[in-house]
């Protein structure tokens, strides 16, 4: 009688938390599209969207409405089931990672301790890694099911790129695990709240992780799957309406989530810099402030992603593979070796 | 039947159903996708049993690694959209017979020996798995671990040799 004896308040609490976090992710992704255009405009000395609402703030809503209103076209020669499945998988894998991220400390409301984390599972970081490795299916299935040679080419590119960059990412993570000695994300953050941020111990590891995150999100300079001059449009060429919207949206969610993951792993998570949270005692708003701190850190990463996109040109494909296999993997191995030696030395 | 059992049977049915679909579909790409779902189902089963480490590794290795490679090889070698020809009748009969015998064997084994309760909680913490795997003492798995590593290294070197064979002649 597992289910019947369950704590119903826990269930409701988690449901609300899931709803909140998913909404936050979606809204952030929505406004990231606006931010992307504004950043691009500033870098290129233009004004950017400024018609819909003040500062063009309603532009994402208008875009969303446009995508919903568009006719939905499913190509005759496509495999319908997989064609629909592709964007779905892309969206689900983009959102699922948010489940294990600690979005804030524990808050006390209505006489209950509520941890701002959906699931503090024992293998947090491995879970993140597993979900990231599943993200490739959205591109692969969508690209194949479109029955279009350009889409298929883009899908193969995207998949091989993601597999290649998962490797140095995992190696960078291993050296981080050696430093912290735990795979639980909550422990990661606790250690950083009480001590120094991990980026101090692992600057090279963070650098490798950041480059790999760029590649996993298919952002410039690694946006080979969307190279318009070579592939027309990329793996989502045959998609229209909200299915296309899902793919584009998933990219922005991925960006935001990977920013948050990087903040959690290397930049103290929800730790508010230069402030000792414990000194304020048990007040509810400190939880909210911590949440805002994590959001700010994540958004700074999103901004850096955009900054890179509008400054650096795209790699050639052989350069991409070269960088991944011949430079990042040995570098990550070296980092791992040095970390191992130092950790052994200090013990 | 408790709710726990119902969920267990639901997940199992999902795994088996996807497995059967993977075997019976005649489009090779779909077969790979059904296999993918089946493996995700196995990971879900591990999660349900709360062995989260094994579940995560199942997803990283099988779902994120092996099936991607299978799909890759399908993309690069097969006409993945075409239906494959129907297998001859003899092969169908043989396949059904093999399945029946396999089922009978497992059924008999379970029927005879059953699942015994060990009487102690299953300790699966990541720390314990790590120390056990790299332990050289009693019940340590350091030696098998190293043997497997060398086997994998040999396989990798072999792959590189095969892939490199035609290179020097071209230049």
- Whether B64 and chain A come into contact, CB under 8 Å, resolves to yes
**Which residues neighbour A57 within 8 Å (Cβ) at sequence distance 6 or greater?**
A34
For all residues of chain B together, what is the average pLDDT? 84
Query: Could you please report the per-residue DSSP string of A241-300?
Result: HHHHHHHHHHHHHHHHHHHHHHHHHHS-TTPPTT--GGGG-S-HHHHHHHHHHHHHHHHH
Contacts 24+ apart (CB under 8 A), B81-90: B81/A79, B81/A147, B81/B27, B81/B29, B82/B27, B83/B26, B83/B27, B84/B26, B84/B27, B84/B28, B86/B26
SS3 at position A112: strand
CA distance A267 to A79: 44
ipTM score here?
Answer: 0.78
CA distance A128 to A117: 14
Cα Rg for chain B, rounded, in angstroms?
Answer: 21
Number of domains in chain A: 1
Q: Which residues of A97-130 are buried (b: 16+ CB within 10 A; e: fewer)?
A: bbbbbbbbbebeeeeeebbbbbeebbbbbbbbbb
Contact A133 B63 (CB under 8 A): yes
**Span B30-70, pLDDT tens digits:** 888 899 999 999 999 988 888 888 888 888 888 888 888 88
CA distance B24 to B34: 10
Contact A2 B4 (CB under 8 A): yes
Chain A residues in contact with B3 by the CB 8 A cut-off are 1-4
CA distance A155 to A158: 5
CA distance A6 to A10: 8
> Which of B30, B33, B36, B127 to mutate against chain A (most A CBs within 10 Å)?
B33
- Whether A3 and chain B come into contact, CB under 8 Å, resolves to yes
Chain A residues in contact with B60 by the CB 8 A cut-off are 126, 129-130, 133
CA distance A284 to B63: 41
Nearest CB to A130 within list B33, B64, B126: B64
Q: Residue A1: which pLDDT band, with cuts at 50, 70 and 90?
A: very low
Residue A55 lies in a domain: no
Q: Residue B80: which pLDDT band, with cuts at 50, 70 and 90?
A: low
Find the angle CA(A4)-CA(B14)-CA(A250) to the nearest 5 degrees.
Answer: 90
**Span B2-23, pLDDT tens digits:** 778 888 899 999 999 999 998 8
> Which of A140, A147, A148 to mutate against chain B (most B CBs within 10 Å)?
A140
SS3 at position B83: strand
Tokens of A259: 């920013």
Residue B169 lies in a domain: no
The verdict on whether omega for the bond into residue A221 sits within 30 degrees of 0, i.e. cis, is yes
Residue B156 lies in a domain: yes
- Whether B1 and chain A come into contact, CB under 8 Å, resolves to no
* HSE toward the beta carbon, residue B61, CA cutoff 13 A: 8
Residue A1 lies in a domain: no
For residue A102, what are the domain limits? 8-50+60-346
Residue B68 lies in a domain: yes
Number of domains in chain B: 1
User: Which phi and psi (to 5°) does residue A342 adopt?
Assistant: -65, -40
Residue B78 lies in a domain: yes
For residue B51, what are the domain limits? 3-109+122-163
Contact B56 A144 (CB under 8 A): no
Q: What residues form DSSP beta bridges with A106?
A: A115
> Which of B71, B77, B134 to mutate against chain A (most A CBs within 10 Å)?
B71
**Cβ–Cβ under 8 Å, residues A125 and B24:** no
Contact B64 A133 (CB under 8 A): yes
What pLDDT shows up at residue A106? 74
**Cβ–Cβ under 8 Å, residues A309 and A220:** yes
Tokens of A278: 């414990």
Residue B170 lies in a domain: no
**Which residues neighbour A51 within 8 Å (Cβ) at sequence distance 6 or greater?**
A59
For all residues of chain A together, what is the average pLDDT? 84
**Span A285-336, pLDDT tens digits:** 777 888 888 889 999 999 999 888 888 888 888 888 888 889 999 999 999 9
**Span A185-216, pLDDT tens digits:** 888 888 888 878 888 888 898 999 999 988 88
Q: Residue B167 pLDDT more than 70? A: no
Chain B residues in contact with A133 by the CB 8 A cut-off are 59-60, 63-65, 68
- Whether B79 and chain A come into contact, CB under 8 Å, resolves to no
Chain B residues in contact with A129 by the CB 8 A cut-off are 56, 60
CATH number of the domain at B156, please. 1.20.120.1200
């Amino acid at each position: 009688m597992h289910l019947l004896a369950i704590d119903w308040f826990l269930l409701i609490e988690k449901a609300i938390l899931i709803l909140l976090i998913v909404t936050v992710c979606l809204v952030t992704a929505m406004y990231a599209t606006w931010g992307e255009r504004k950043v691009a405009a500033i870098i290129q000395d233009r004004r950017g969207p400024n018609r819909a609402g003040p500062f063009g703030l309603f532009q994402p809503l208008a875009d969303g409405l446009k995508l919903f209103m568009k006719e939905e076209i499913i190509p005759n020669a496509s495999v319908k089931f997989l064609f629909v499945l592709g964007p779905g998988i892309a969206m689900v894998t983009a959102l699922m990672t948010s489940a294990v991220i600690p979005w804030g400390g524990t808050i006390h409301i209505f006489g209950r301790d509520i941890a701002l984390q959906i699931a503090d599972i024992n293998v947090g970081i491995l879970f993140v890694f597993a979900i990231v490795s599943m993200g490739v299916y959205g591109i692969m299935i969508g690209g194949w099911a479109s029955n279009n040679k350009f889409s298929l080419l883009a899908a193969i590119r995207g998949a091989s790129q993601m597999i290649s960059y998962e490797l140095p990412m995992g190696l960078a993570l291993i050296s981080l695990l050696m430093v912290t000695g735990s795979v639980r994300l909550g422990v990661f953050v606790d250690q950083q709240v009480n001590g120094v941020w991990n980026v101090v111990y692992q600057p090279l590891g963070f650098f490798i992780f950041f480059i790999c995150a760029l590649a996993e999100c298919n952002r410039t300079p690694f946006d080979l799957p969307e190279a318009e001059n070579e592939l027309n449009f990329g793996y989502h060429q045959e998609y229209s309406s909200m299915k296309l919207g899902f793919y584009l949206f998933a990219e922005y969610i991925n960006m935001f989530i990977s920013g948050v993951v990087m903040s959690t792993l290397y930049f103290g998570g929800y730790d508010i810099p230069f402030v000792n949270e414990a000194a304020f005692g048990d007040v509810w708003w400190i939880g909210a402030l911590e949440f805002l701190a994590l959001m700010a850190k994540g958004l700074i990463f999103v901004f850096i992603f955009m900054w890179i996109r509008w400054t650096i040109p795209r790699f050639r494909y052989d350069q991409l593979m070269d960088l991944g296999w011949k430079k990042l993997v040995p570098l990550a191995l070296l980092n791992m070796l040095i970390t191992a030696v130092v950790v052994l030395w200090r013990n | 039947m408790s709710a726990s059992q119902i969920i267990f049977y639901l997940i199992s049915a999902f795994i088996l159903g996807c497995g059967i679909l993977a075997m019976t579909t005649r489009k090779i790409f779909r077969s790979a996708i059904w296999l993918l779902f089946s493996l995700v189902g196995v990971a879900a089963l591990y999660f349900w049993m709360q062995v989260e480490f094994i579940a995560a590794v199942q997803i990283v290795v099988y779902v994120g690694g092996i099936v991607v490679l299978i799909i890759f090889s399908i993309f690069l070698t097969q006409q993945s959209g075409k239906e494959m020809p129907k297998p001859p009748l003899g092969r169908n009969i043989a396949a059904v017979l093999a399945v029946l015998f396999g089922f009978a064997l497992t059924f008999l084994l379970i029927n005879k020996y059953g699942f015994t309760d060990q009487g102690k909680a299953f300790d699966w913490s990541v720390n314990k798995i790590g120390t056990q795997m790299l332990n050289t003492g009693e019940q340590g798995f350091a030696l098998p671990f190293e043997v497997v590593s060398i086997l994998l290294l040999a396989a990798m070197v072999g792959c590189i040799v095969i892939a490199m064979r035609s290179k020097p002649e071209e230049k």
